A and B are shown apart, each in its own frame.
Chain A
Amino acid sequence: MEYVNPLTGFRLDGRRPNEMRQIRGEIGVVAKADGSALFEMGNTKVIAAVYGPREVQNKGQQINNRALVRCEYSMANFSTGDRRRRPKGDRRSTEISLVIRQTMEACILTHLLPHSQIDIFVQVLQADGGTRSACINAATLALADAGIPMRDIVTSCSAGYLCSTPLLDLNYIEDSAGGPDVTVGMLAKMDKVTLLQMDAKLPMDIFENVMQLAIEGCKAVAHYIREVLLEHTKQLECHRGA
């Protein structure tokens, strides 16, 4: 199948190979949570809610000098093309929960909040490829909204290699083509990669190109997220007044 048109160079949805989908972030969507955000990458919509720092519920897991970070990833029944009920602890959900937890734990300053627990709940409302990346981006926004101290803004983007071209930000059709799918999560300003995942195989030199493309995508998302956070902070402060 022609994922990249050989004549025009356009992809199936009309994007160029190094073009990301349209992103949109909104803060404060879940009223009861300490911090929450909605993040959209094209048709992929993800909602993240952060509760914490609060008292550790399971005293056996309490850590004396750091905060405990827990993460739960779930997909809504209506998120994919066919409505399917997903069991709570299935392998894919557990894996992605672990991945998100490790990524966020690397950037939260947990030593500032000992004896407490931070819960991150991420739910996919609409899945169209790149849900992992959208979840990490949404979680970053939600954590910043909750006022939890972080080292840097963590962003994530995926890239692939189809029809001999590195493609940025794969959607569902390109993802299910069976080609390699590289997901990169990084701390934008510090320029450090905290998450790197790939399925399928790639030769080393092409892998470097694809990873570089994903890193550029991450930086673009970080730029946008920073603007959203700044705008939100300014709005809160101006409402608060003197």
Chain B
Amino acid sequence: MRDLQLSLNQTQRVRLQVALQQLQDLASQAAAYSSVTIADTILVNNEDGILKGHGTSELDGQVVATLCGVVERVNKLVYVRALRARYKPEVGDIIVGRVIEIAFKRWRLEINFSQDAVLMLSSMNLPDGIQRRRTAVDELNMRSIFEENDVICAEVRGFQHDGSLHLQARSQKYGKLERGQLLTVPAYLVKRRKQHFHHLEQYGVDLILGCNGFVWVGEHLKTGEHDMLDDQEKRPEISKSNKIDEEEQERTFTPLEVRQHICGIANAVRLLSALGFILTVEAIKDTTEAGVSSNIEIKDMLGPEFYVQIVEREVQRRISLLRKKG
């Protein structure tokens, strides 16, 4: 809708209208949520003892919304959950970010937040794996670990005094991400779950759903291969100049089938995010399987016919879910 420019023919348009109408009916049936816009009064029952949370403010003794979103009530807390806002970080979130600059003993990463996040050199495993104090030589060699525009997966360690995020990447599963695609989706479509790292065995693809809305789809790397860096370190400095050797090429060759799967899954994520459906591994797997089974080209997955099909599938899924509940 927002990101995809589609030209639907008449039947597709009618089918889409019907499906969207059904979604709306289901939504109004399932849960009574109250949407508010800016400066709408929020109804509160007992005036005293109400905690005004995010997205609310007080005006003339009334609670007024400052964001467009949905009113959520938890016991005495009333807050407005905004939809298309930037990422709201919490300690322990898994995020994916891109390196913007290398500063004094730290890397600055762009994540979908109001400020850039900071990854300290001391929060990152050294290539040789030894736990030691970072020396001046380490600081000078920061570029050999991560450069500008590298994609990194890390975890939120805490907040700094000015509100920006402090990250850490000390585990084997965090670090530089290579050989894949980085996708940007609205942050509200990625819910916090127990698992954010998914390995899709049948495609041989790694899927990382960053809480900040950056989704990584890439070739599956066994955890040991993050240590590829220390092979590079052991080689003499000369080989850095001719990086593209024969051996390197052979090692870094991704088979065509895996690349096709990566593109298929990435297109599924793009489609679901354009439609505004929540991104879960099941939904992504389901969409990719639908694409494979209906024998359409990977590039046609972003076309009008598949778009309408996915909306119809989602309607069926929600109807069956509602039937199971009620």
B115 neighbours in A (Cβ, 8 Å): 54-55, 115-116
B31 neighbours in A (Cβ, 8 Å): 242
Q: Is there an interface contact between A190 and B189, defined as CB atoms closer than 8 Å? A: no
Which of B23, B27, B59, B68 is A229 in contact with, Cβ under 8 Å? B68
Judge whether A35 is part of the interface by a CB distance below 8 angstroms.
Answer: yes
Q: Is there an interface contact between A149 and B162, defined as CB atoms closer than 8 Å? A: no
Which of A145, A151, A240 is B39 in contact with, Cβ under 8 Å? A151
Interface hit among A14-22, A76-84, A212-220, A230-238: A230-238
Q: Which residue of A lies closest to B28 (CB)?
A: A238
A188→B2 CA distance, assembly (Å): 29
Q: Is there an interface contact between A241 and B163, defined as CB atoms closer than 8 Å? A: no
Q: Is there an interface contact between B39 and A237, defined as CB atoms closer than 8 Å? A: no
Judge whether B8 is part of the interface by a CB distance below 8 angstroms.
Answer: no
A236 neighbours in B (Cβ, 8 Å): 83-84, 276
CB-defined interface of A178-220 with B at 8 Å, one 1/0 digit per residue? 0000000001111000000000000000000000000000000
Most buried by A among B28, B57, B115: B115
Asked if A241 meets B277 with Cβ closer than 8 Å, knowing A115-B162, A226-B37, the reply is: yes
Interface residue SS majority, chain B: loop
A52→B84 CA distance, assembly (Å): 12
Q: Is there an interface contact between B85 and A31, defined as CB atoms closer than 8 Å? A: no
Q: Is there an interface contact between A147 and B66, defined as CB atoms closer than 8 Å? A: no
Q: Which residue of B lies closest to A152 (CB)?
A: B39
Q: Is there an interface contact between B67 and A149, defined as CB atoms closer than 8 Å? A: yes
Q: Is there an interface contact between A149 and B33, defined as CB atoms closer than 8 Å? A: no
CB-defined interface of B203-220 with A at 8 Å, one 1/0 digit per residue? 000000000000000000
A109→B57 CA distance, assembly (Å): 10
Asked if A116 meets B114 with Cβ closer than 8 Å, knowing A28-B1, A230-B37, A239-B275, the reply is: yes
Distance (Å) between the CB of B35 and the closest chain A CB?
Answer: 4
Judge whether B278 is part of the interface by a CB distance below 8 angstroms.
Answer: yes
Number of residues in A with C-beta < 8 Å to the partner? 43
A151→B64 CA distance, assembly (Å): 9
Judge whether A153 is part of the interface by a CB distance below 8 angstroms.
Answer: yes
Distance (Å) between the CB of B285 and the closest chain A CB?
Answer: 17
Contacting residues of chain B (40-64) with chain A, CB-CB under 8 angstroms: 40, 55, 57, 59, 64
Distance (Å) between the CB of B321 and the closest chain A CB?
Answer: 8
CB-defined interface of A23-38 with B at 8 Å, one 1/0 digit per residue? 0000010010011000
Judge whether B307 is part of the interface by a CB distance below 8 angstroms.
Answer: no
Q: Is there an interface contact between B116 and A55, defined as CB atoms closer than 8 Å? A: yes
Judge whether A69 is part of the interface by a CB distance below 8 angstroms.
Answer: no
Q: Is there an interface contact between B84 and A147, defined as CB atoms closer than 8 Å? A: yes
Contacting residues of chain B (182-201) with chain A, CB-CB under 8 angstroms: 188-189
Judge whether B30 is part of the interface by a CB distance below 8 angstroms.
Answer: yes
Q: Which residue of A lies closest to B274 (CB)?
A: A31
Which of B30, B38, B67, B278 is A152 in contact with, Cβ under 8 Å? B38
Most buried by B among A109, A229, A232, A236: A236
Judge whether A96 is part of the interface by a CB distance below 8 angstroms.
Answer: no
A114 neighbours in B (Cβ, 8 Å): 162-163
A64 neighbours in B (Cβ, 8 Å): 162
Asked if A145 meets B84 with Cβ closer than 8 Å, knowing A113-B114, A233-B70, the reply is: yes
Q: Is there an interface contact between A34 and B86, defined as CB atoms closer than 8 Å? A: yes
Q: Is there an interface contact between B2 and A239, defined as CB atoms closer than 8 Å? A: no
Q: Is there an interface contact between A153 and B86, defined as CB atoms closer than 8 Å? A: no
A157→B293 CA distance, assembly (Å): 55
Q: Is there an interface contact between A147 and B83, defined as CB atoms closer than 8 Å? A: yes
CB-defined interface of A120-148 with B at 8 Å, one 1/0 digit per residue? 00000000000000000000000011111
Judge whether B257 is part of the interface by a CB distance below 8 angstroms.
Answer: no
Judge whether B69 is part of the interface by a CB distance below 8 angstroms.
Answer: yes
Judge whether B246 is part of the interface by a CB distance below 8 angstroms.
Answer: no
Judge whether B82 is part of the interface by a CB distance below 8 angstroms.
Answer: yes
Asked if A149 meets B66 with Cβ closer than 8 Å, knowing A28-B1, A114-B162, the reply is: yes
Judge whether B3 is part of the interface by a CB distance below 8 angstroms.
Answer: yes
Q: Which residue of A lies closest to B35 (CB)?
A: A233
Q: Which residue of A lies closest to B100 (CB)?
A: A55
Distance (Å) between the CB of A22 and the closest chain B CB?
Answer: 22
Q: What 12 new A-B contacts, CB under 8 Å, besides A226-B37, A238-B24?
A: A34-B84, A144-B37, A144-B68, A147-B69, A149-B66, A150-B66, A151-B66, A226-B39, A226-B40, A232-B68, A233-B36, A240-B188
Give chain A's interface residues, CB within 8 Å of chain B: 28, 31, 34-35, 52-55, 64, 67, 109, 113-116, 144-153, 187-190, 226, 229-230, 232-242
Cβ contacts A to B, 13 pairs, < 8 Å: A28-B1, A34-B86, A55-B115, A114-B162, A144-B67, A145-B84, A147-B85, A150-B38, A151-B39, A153-B38, A226-B37, A229-B38, A236-B84
